[in-house]
Amino acid sequence: MEDLTQEEWAEQLANDDNAVILDVRTDAEVAEGIIPNAIHIDFYLGDEFVDKVDELDKHKNYYVYCRSGNRSGQACHIMEELGFENAYNLEGGMLDWSGDVVDME
């Protein structure tokens, strides 16, 4: 797992042809807006979160974010334990995000 600043995350993501954006926030948080093309799996689902993440392609590069960077950091650690090679945590999460956001309503 690697913690990336907002700038590093956006720049690396833009140049990554094997990227998947993973939003681990709650449904209520996602309703306020989501980074374009992100898939959503709520971290607070517990074992169900682990099961859903484990079904993802482990050969992709995952750019993971939450509201502040805490849950996404934990999610990245779980992904490493599950055998994912590349999981990148967005430092500061959506609180610091200045990039594009799409409305989910």
Q: pLDDT tens-digit profile of 39-59?
A: 999 999 999 999 999 999 999
- Residues acting as catalytic residues: 66
| 41 backbone φψ class: left, alpha, beta (φ>0; ψ -120 to 50) | beta
105 has pLDDT over 80:
no
Domain boundaries of the chain, sorted by first residue: 2-96
Query: Kind of pairing, strands 2-4 and 19-23?
Result: unpaired
Average pLDDT, rounded, for the chain: 95
Query: Residue 104: what pLDDT?
Result: 72
Give 2-96's CATH code, choosing from 3.40.250.10, 3.40.640.10, 3.40.50.10440, 3.40.190.10: 3.40.250.10
Distance from C-alpha of 47 to C-alpha of 36, rounded to nearest angstrom = 26
Contact 60, 37 (CB under 8 A): no
72 has pLDDT over 90:
yes
Query: Residue 103: what pLDDT?
Result: 86
Counting residues of the chain whose pLDDT is more than 90, the rounded percentage is: 93
- The band of 86, judged by pLDDT with boundaries at 50, 70 and 90, is very high
Contact 47, 64 (CB under 8 A): no
Distance from C-alpha of 85 to C-alpha of 75, rounded to nearest angstrom = 13
Other Cβ atoms less than 10 A from the Cβ of 41: the count is: 20
